[in-house]
């Protein structure tokens, strides 16, 4: 486990996402209303680029013809077969116990904290004036 600095926080404003590569793995970093989430960019079903999928809300129902819509933007639909994954946990909707995508710890850290180390910044230097996205992997 190491802490990897993958982006400046300002690069991923709310509602946006960025694909980064950490130790050979493609990981999608999502900013959902100021909260950051990180998921492996690979659907466990057929290997689709999951993090390029559409973010939708969660719909549930306890009776035919009713649609209980909540958590807009917190379910990630695979661009291929449309399987839904929870942005917060990586769990699939249809089979949460055994079908899930790896989710990573992601934090925002000020450069001055990072400067004390240890961390791995693979592509750019860290400056103490800015905030950074850090993924544990």
Partner 1 sequence: MPHAASGIDCDIHPALPSISALFPYLPAYWSEQLRVRGTDGFDSILYPPNAGFSCRADWRDGAKPGTSLEALRRHALDGFGTRIAVCNLLYNVAAVRNADLGTVLARAMNDWLAAEWLDREPRLRAAIHIAPQDPGAAAEEIERRAADPRFVHVLLPAMDETLFGKRLFRPIHEAAARHRLPLAIHAQMTATHATTSNGWPSHLAEDHIAMAHAFQAQLLSFVYEGAFTAFPELRLVLLESGFAWLPNFLWRADRTWKAMRAEVPWVDTPPSAILREHVRIALQPAEAPPDPAQLPILLEQLGGDELLLLSTDWPHAQFAGNDPFPAGFPATLRRRVAEDNPRAVYPRIEVSP
Partner 2 sequence: MTPDDGLVLADRAARGEARLKIIDCDVHHALRSAADLKPFLATRWQEHLDRYGFRVPTPFLSSPQYPKGAPALSRTDSWPPNGGPPGSDLAFLREQLLDRWGISFGLLHFLFPGAMDQRNQSFGNALARALNEWQVEHWTRHERRLKAGIILPGEDADAAVAEIEHWAGHTTAGGGDFVQVALATHTIELLGRRRYWRIYEAAAAAGLPLCLHTMGYNGRAVTPAGWPSFYVEEHHEVAISQQTVVASLILEGVLERIPDLKVVIVEAGFAWVPGFAWRLDHYWSRFRDELEHVTRPPSETIRERFWFTSQPADEPEKPEQLRQTMDWMGWDRLLFATDYPHWDMDNPEHAFRMPMSDEEKRMVFAGNAERVYGLS
CA distance 97 to 33: 27
Tell me which of partner 1, partner 2, none is bound by residue 28, counting a contact when its beta carbon lies within the kind-specific cut-off of 5 to 8 angstroms: none
- Cβ atoms of 26 and 50 closer than 8 Å: no
Q: Which residue has the tokens 């180390």?
A: 117
- Give least dist CB 64 to partner 1, A: 3
Spell out, one character per residue from 68 to 87, where the chain touches partner 2: x when CB under 8 A holds, - when not. ---------x-xxxx-----
Within positions 37 to 56, which residues make up the interface with partner 1, using CB under 8 A?
A: 56
Tell me which of partner 1, partner 2, none is bound by residue 102, counting a contact when its beta carbon lies within the kind-specific cut-off of 5 to 8 angstroms: partner 2
Report, in angstroms and rounded to the nearest whole number, the Rg of the chain calculated over CA atoms.
16
């Amino acid at each position: 486990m190491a802490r990897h600095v993958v982006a400046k926080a300002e690069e991923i404003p709310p509602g946006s996402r960025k694909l980064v590569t950490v130790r050979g793995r493609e990981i999608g970093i999502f900013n959902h209303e100021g909260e950051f989430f990180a998921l492996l960019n690979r659907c466990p079903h057929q290997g689709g680029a999951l993090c390029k999928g559409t973010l939708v809300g969660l719909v549930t129902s306890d009776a035919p013809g009713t649609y209980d819509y909540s958590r807009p933007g917190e379910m990630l639909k695979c661009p291929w077969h449309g399987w839904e994954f929870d942005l917060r946990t990586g769990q699939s909707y249809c089979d949460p116990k055994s079908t899930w995508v790896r989710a990573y710890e992601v934090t925002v850290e000020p450069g001055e904290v990072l400067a004390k180390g240890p961390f791995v910044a693979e592509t750019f230097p860290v400056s103490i004036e800015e905030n950074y996205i850090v993924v544990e992997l």
